[in-house]
Amino acid sequence: MARVLWVSTETPSRDGQGGQRRQFHQIKALVARGHAVTVLVPTTGQSDASIRTVVPVIRPRVTVFGRPRRRLVLRARRTIGEPRWDAVVVSHHESSWLLPESLDTPVLLDMHNVMSHWHAVGGRSDAAEEERVTESRAVRSADGVMTCSDVETRRLLGVHPEAAGKAFTAPLGVDPDEWPDRGFSRDEPRVALFGSWSWHPNRVGLEWFAARVWPLVERRLPGAVALVAGTGVDDTSTWPPSMRFVGRVEDLAGFTASAAVVAVPVRDGVGASVKFAEALATGAAVIATPDGANAFDEPPAFVSDEAGTWADWIVARLRRRGREPAPSPSRAIALSTMTWDAAAAPIDEWLRSHARRPPVSVEPMAS
């Protein structure tokens, strides 16, 4: 089997935010495909409990009072540079500073999203240039570069032509085990939203939904309810009365099973949204903003950026909810073609081509 060191400044976690969940499921899928993965993540306040159930974890201390210390960083770099690794995966270009200046082991950089493009589109030229320089340095030092969607790969090549020939897409996925059939009820005119709402694009999207979309729905369809699950919501005082925050739920499949609609409002967003793929797995009809669904050229959902159009579509779906298919056909698509095992296949292929010692062949996980 190939011995892979996974380097990240963000702790992979089943229960974390989108990027943490993506890493967790990628690592889990790679282990099932025959790779021996070890995670190296500096000591932080983020829990490593879930990833430790899958792979060994190395937690070097590299900072003192929040500032990197050269002696500690060099110790971590020595671990990364050890000859026992057949390949190194670096998650986020922001983690590339942990790499030694000289490394003989093949390096795969997971860009996730092209932050310089996002800042440039938003008119933040100084931030865009700063990110471009950091990204370029990381891209040049890597033997392969992956993003989370074909859209992001095209953006990567547009900003960093030096990535040509080594860039590829490792898409987002869903874990079928997290989305069992809980039965699908459409008895109530209910809309569900879930996510980590402290992340800027999610927070702005939720504020837009609460201020611009849901009041129109509430006015036209008394009795409709919007339930918001997740973390990062501190103040709901300005929300319409029929929109409620329920906090973190342990069973998202059960929470969304009684929703006729799952909404994915992401605005001023960067890259692909993990929760959009998961929304498709819920079995509800899905509506999203372009930023929420931008990982797909033709997403199996209704996509719009207009508040009035959102309200019209939601009201129509809630009124005819008893005649809507339950579950929605998009659920079968997500659970059969968007699994994390399928999403990790391009990473597995790269490792088999570039790792110093290729992994043993095993059967992929069943979907």
Residue 46, in any domain of the structure: yes
Contacts of 84 (CB under 8 A, 6+ apart): 3
**Whether residue 145 sits in one domain with residue 113:** yes
**CATH code at position 43:** 3.40.50.2000
Closest CA to 112 of 167, 57, 58: 167
Domain residues for 307?
177-337
Full DSSP string of 241-292? TTEEEEE--S-HHHHHHT-SEEEE---S--S--HHHHHHHHTSSEEEE-TTT
Residue 361, in any domain of the structure: no
In this prediction the pTM is: 0.89
**Whether residue 34 sits in one domain with residue 7:** yes
Residue 275, in any domain of the structure: yes
Give the bridge partners for 259, in sequence order: none
**Whether residue 323 sits in one domain with residue 237:** yes
**Whether residue 7 sits in one domain with residue 149:** yes
Closest CA to 160 of 127, 128, 132, 199: 132
- 3-state DSSP of 9-52: CCCCCCCCCHHHHHHHHHHHHHHHCCCEEEEECCCCCCCCHHHH
For 220, other C-beta atoms within 10 Å of its C-beta total 14
Residue 39, in any domain of the structure: yes
Q: What is the pLDDT of residue 166?
A: 96
Q: What is the pLDDT of residue 367?
A: 43
Q: What angle do CA 322, 324, 327 make, to 5 degrees?
A: 110
**Whether residue 234 sits in one domain with residue 99:** no
- In order along the chain (367 residues), what is the average pLDDT of each group of 10 residues? 93 90 96 96 89 97 85 94 96 91 93 89 92 94 94 93 96 94 94 93 95 98 97 95 96 96 88 85 95 83 96 97 90 93 96 80 51
Q: What is the pLDDT of residue 294?
A: 79
For residue 266, CA distances in Å to 115, 203, 228 come to 16, 8, 14
Q: How many domains does the structure of the chain reveal?
A: 2
Q: How far apart are CA 232 and CA 44, in angstroms?
A: 19
**Whether residue 186 sits in one domain with residue 152:** no
**Whether residue 151 sits in one domain with residue 75:** yes
Residue 363, in any domain of the structure: no
Q: What is the pLDDT of residue 328?
A: 93
Full DSSP string of 213-230? IHHHHHHHSTT-EEEEEE
Residue 42, in any domain of the structure: yes
Burial of 64 (0-12, 13-18, 19+ CB in 10 A): exposed
**Whether residue 157 sits in one domain with residue 47:** yes
Interhelix angle 345-354/18-32, nearest 10 degrees: 60
**Whether residue 165 sits in one domain with residue 17:** yes
Q: What is the pLDDT of residue 234?
A: 92
**Whether residue 290 sits in one domain with residue 235:** yes
**Whether residue 186 sits in one domain with residue 332:** yes
Residue 215, in any domain of the structure: yes
**Whether residue 73 sits in one domain with residue 205:** no
